[in-house]
Amino acid sequence: MGGRSYEAVMARKNEIVKAAVGIDYSKFEEAGGRFDYERMMREAVPHTLEEIVRIQGEMSVGNTKLLSLNNVTALARKTAGGGKGAQILVKDEAQNLSGSFKARRAALSVYEAHRMGYKGVVAATSGNYGAAVACMAARLGLKCIVVQECYDSRRVGQPEILEKQRACEAMGAEVVQLTVGPELFYETLMLLEDTGFYNASLYTPSAIAGIETLGWEIAQQCRSQLGRDPDVVVATNAGGGNITGTARGLRKAGAKSQVYAASVDLSGLHMASDRDFNRKSFTTGHTGFGVPFTVQPDRTDVPRNAARPLRYMDRYLLVKEGEVFYMTEALAALEGMERGPAGNTSLAAAFALSMTLPEDKVIVVQETEYTGAGKHPMAQLSFARRNGVEVLVGDPETEVPGKNIVLPDHPSRFKVREHSLEAMRRSALKRLAQDRKSVTAEDLEYFKAELNADAAFVRKELEALGVSC
């Protein structure tokens, strides 16, 4: 074992991860910095989609209901008028054993740990994934450690994060709580090395393949209930696994649905800032994770991230904090469904989108999550006020992250806001082509796949960077 300094541990990252997930990532690497993503997904997941469905079923995961939000849809139609108001349905992932879609990725990851003979699992997360891993580990008799970025330097934690800590501990996990900063992956790597446990990372091929069943189910249930595929599936986006797995599952089902990402707009707040940490009311599903992980996915605890959201998103929609709180209350009041904030991020985007589309179109909100005392809007809004954030009623367009939260004074205030995919593709390409004078035909094909862009766009942007094709 080498040194314990940050630099020494990070230098051993690939070695530690190889031992902790049983994957030799180097065999998927190719010349010129490329890697074979599809080969990694095929070879690192030793199960067919049908086998994954069976594994998840044995662990009480999956086959959740697809529900039509008739009253929310009616509100969109009444507000929009003019024949607008696409039908909105929601996949009720809160029905999973741990209360969120992340049970799907945790089920397969923990199953793999058990199959390969690991005695325990480690997961780095501040969110629902920790509870999902703890839940699945309890079912298979494995030990579980959850590493959680929880507090600012005053040891003050957000109620939503503390609720998730409670859920992890209730299911038998040991929770290692950290203050905000760069220590999360460092502490995780040290624990993996010290314990010899499996790295139940959010970003392994198994974690993403576990979500493919969600996209598959959406296609099958829409066909059964409506006789058609959805026009649009909206997925809340943070680290990228949600949209990646769902889109891959839709494609495997043969669905041609558009896949839109949705994130809470937290522009101006720095996710690693001690000051900003408690001035945001959303711990995931926001632009502070969503944009960086879309542009540069390989910034995780594994060498190659299996979550590649830019490959799959057709649009990236932004919503305001106040809109998500409003929609959380609307879902409860209109549909009798009290659900947590993460899924309601994509529901807020879907509501705004619905009012721009004809009534005969179909939008599926891809998830819900469980709620609890710490996740409830009143807990979050009260916490915001204590941290100097104003809570107002009016036009969400006036919202300034970290300064105020503006609840809409009317449903017509919901707006479709785009985050430019072209700008993100340009940023990602600049990183991929860094220090290049020229690229090969193989490079060009790799760039097209990574960016979900055509050859003309890639060539034009490379020329602007002074790179010849």
- pLDDT tens per residue across span 32-66: 899 999 999 999 999 999 999 999 999 999 999 99
Residue range 350-367, pLDDT digits in tens? 999 999 999 999 999 999
- The amino acid present at 228, given as its one-letter code, is R
Angle at 34 between CA 244 and CA 30, to 5 degrees: 120
Is pLDDT above 80 for 306? yes
CB 62 within 8 A of CB 98: no
CB 318 within 8 A of CB 419: yes
Q: Which is more confident, 197 or 157?
A: 197
Residue 370: its pLDDT value, please?
A: 93
Angle at 450 between CA 446 and CA 453, to 5 degrees: 95
Residue 75: its pLDDT value, please?
A: 98
DSSP E strand stretches across 348-425: 362-365, 390-394, 404-408, 417-418
Is pLDDT above 70 for 13? yes
Residue 388: pLDDT band with limits 50, 70, 90: very high
Nearest residue to 368 (alpha-carbon basis) of 269, 285, 452:
285
What integer best gives the mean pLDDT of the chain?
95
Taking the domains of the chain in order of start, what are their residue ranges? 57-97+210-274+283-418, 422-464
Nearest residue to 404 (alpha-carbon basis) of 325, 345, 291:
325
Residue range 93-110, pLDDT digits in tens? 999 999 999 999 999 999
Residue 27: its pLDDT value, please?
A: 94
Residue 183: pLDDT band with limits 50, 70, 90: confident
Could you tell me the fold of the domain covering 57-97+210-274+283-418?
Answer: Rossmann fold (3.40.50)
Is pLDDT above 80 for 394? yes
What does DSSP say about strands 404-408 and 315-319: parallel, antiparallel, or unpaired?
A: unpaired
pTM listed for this prediction? 0.96
H or E segment to which residue 67 belongs? strand 66-68
Residue 299: its pLDDT value, please?
A: 86
343: left (phi over 0), alpha (psi -120 to 50) or beta: alpha
Residue 373: its pLDDT value, please?
A: 84
Residue 328: its pLDDT value, please?
A: 97
Residue 352: its pLDDT value, please?
A: 98
Which residues are CB-contacts of 178 (< 8 A; sequence separation ≥ 6)? 147, 148, 149, 150, 151, 184, 187
Q: What is the rounded average pLDDT of the residues 113-135?
A: 93
Specify the 3-state DSSP secondary structure of 202: coil
Residue 182: its pLDDT value, please?
A: 74
CB 159 within 8 A of CB 82: no
Residue 1: its pLDDT value, please?
A: 58
Nearest residue to 238 (alpha-carbon basis) of 88, 327, 128, 377:
128
- Residue 362 pairs with which residues in a beta bridge? 87
Residue 469: its pLDDT value, please?
A: 84
CB 220 within 8 A of CB 253: yes
- Residue 358 pairs with which residues in a beta bridge? 84
Measure the CA–CA gap between 181 and 275, rounded to whole angstroms: 11
Residue 284: its pLDDT value, please?
A: 85
Q: What is the dihedral of CA 189, 191, 196, 199, to 10 degrees?
A: -50
Residue 444: its pLDDT value, please?
A: 96
445 is written with which tokens?
A: 């094909």
Angle at 452 between CA 297 and CA 250, to 5 degrees: 90
CA distances from 171 to 133, 136, 175 (A): 9, 9, 11
Question: Greatest CA span in the chain, whole angstroms?
Answer: 68
